[in-house]
Structure 1
Amino acid sequence: MFYLLQSDTLQKAVTAVVAPPEKISMWSLLEKGGWIMYPLYMLLIAAIFVFVERLLAIRRASRIEPNFMSIIRDNIMTGNVSAARSLAKNTNNPVARMIDKGIQRIGKPIDAIEKSMENVGKLEMYSMERNLSILSLIAGIAPMFGFLGTIVGMVQLFYGIASTGEYTLNTIAGGIYTKMITSATGLIIGLIAYVGHNFLSTQIDKTANRMEAASAEFIDILQEPTR
């Protein structure tokens, strides 16, 4: 009888040792970060919203027909300036608006035409870069919120030790959770915003290069009859 009880106790102990640890969901893990997580959630939502909105706007701005400048050239070379103006006016992208301004200034000195087109280009660049600074701001402050969570977690840790007088795993677990989860979340959100900002900046630079190439080609078209 004693042998059976001893075997049963040993079997239960072995089962308890080899039992798999209790699984925890990602949401439950994030909740352990405390109230600091809510500002981080808001920053993440803002970063995603700004990135998607700017990405769609920049893609619309960079969309231009491959033969757009060829048609402009043919119309101007044949003296059909009104057709060139109509095409540029009815095309909704920065390149077309810049060319439209140049067509309006035909007959004036080349320097004046270039200056007018340059001013339009600056306005279009400003329009594409609108709200892009929000991503840069989020990339900077999200890790700071994470570090704030680290401070809050350490305060909870020392408060728990001071309250119980015990330095046990249960005492320090809450503070460690807050410290690690908020720090990791803040860094991840900051990284997402940083990558998104640089990606959009690269797309804007590509569009700006297309605008500069179109501007140079338009000036060449105006000077071509006098060569």
Structure 2
Amino acid sequence: MLLLQIGDTLNQAADTLQQALPQNSVIAAEQKVNILSLLIKGGWVMLPIALLLFLGIYIFFERYFTIRKAARYEANLTMQIKQYVLAGNLDGAIALCRNSATPIGRMLQKGLLRIGKPIKDIEGAIENQGKLEVSKLEKNISILGIIAGIAPMLGFIGTIIGVITIFYDISATGEYSIDTVSSGLYQKMITSAAGLFIGILAYIGHHILTMMVDKVILQMETDSIDFIDLLEEPTK
């Protein structure tokens, strides 16, 4: 009898598990749908927040690949230029800089075109070209900083609108229940979370690109100093 009871208990447990598995799958599917629908419940404030997200992603990757290309360092460039200059082949050195298609190459090319003039003039030409190259690298990076500040503010606006919605529904219905305040709470929490999340991403992206630009600037300054020393070397 005891064995029969144990067998019946196991069979009932197996049936319960079989019935529970499909239900759990349905619950999981509903939760996935709810996650997507929550974003819609954030209201119209989610539209500008979404635009900031796409704008930030575009700017980050566009600048990332541009700066990465500019950071491509050719170790033999300065050495080859030195060989051309010492051999008196300025045209070959200028062509080499032009073919490098890098910020440092364009800076050195500007200096080579000024050879024969005082060193101060050459340094000024290289410095001005360097400022222009840095300006190109930093293009639109500041927009990420703006997004990092605006996105949380938009989330805060959504929070205020959600609170207003809650009190309006309560005053309109005269009831204080979960159904009455749920829509306002959805908008309040979703917009706040979305704004903070996008703001954090933009903040991180801004600092990553800034560090990359600083690294390129350091290399440009090092190579320009080596180039000026190269021009002064024959006169020593």
The TM-score with structure 2 as length reference comes to 0.85
Letter in 1 for 2:108: I
Residue among 199, 202, 208 paired with 2:208: 199
Partner residue in 2 for 1:150: 159
Identity %: 49
Partner residue in 1 for 2:229: 220
The range that moved more, 207-216 or 56-65, is: 56-65
RMSD across aligned positions (CA): 1.5
SS in 2 for 1:23: helix
Segments of 4+ moved more than 3 angstroms: 19-22
Work out the CA distance in 1 between the residues paired with 2:183 and 2:101: 56
Work out the CA distance in 2 between the residues paired with 1:185 and 1:116: 47
Partner residue in 1 for 2:174: 165
In the alignment, structure 1 residue 90 sits paired with structure 2 residue 99: yes
Partner residue in 1 for 2:6: none
In the alignment, structure 1 residue 50 sits paired with structure 2 residue 53: no
SS in 1 for 2:176: coil
Work out the CA distance in 1 between the residues paired with 2:210 and 2:141: 8
Work out the CA distance in 1 between the residues paired with 2:157 and 2:32: 25
For residues 1-227 of structure 1, the aligned pairs below 5 Å read: 23-25=31-33, 26-227=35-236
How many equivalent residue pairs?
210
| Gaps in structure 1 of 5+ consecutive residues | 1-18
Work out the CA distance in 2 between the residues paired with 1:150 and 1:216: 54
Work out the CA distance in 2 between the residues paired with 1:62 and 1:185: 34
Work out the CA distance in 1 between the residues paired with 2:191 and 2:99: 50
Letter in 2 for 1:23: Q
Partner residue in 2 for 1:10: none
The range that moved more, 74-83 or 29-38, is: 74-83
| Gaps in structure 2 of 5+ consecutive residues | 1-22
1:94-124 deviation digits (Å, cap 9, x = unpaired): 0000000000111111111100000000011
Work out the CA distance in 2 between the residues paired with 1:89 and 1:30: 51
The TM-score with structure 1 as length reference comes to 0.89
1:29-81 deviation digits (Å, cap 9, x = unpaired): 21111111111111100000011111111111111322111111111122222
Work out the CA distance in 2 between the residues paired with 1:146 and 1:23: 24
How far is the alpha carbon of 1:170 from its aligned partner?
Answer: 1.1
Work out the CA distance in 2 between the residues paired with 1:24 and 1:78: 70
Letter in 2 for 1:78: A
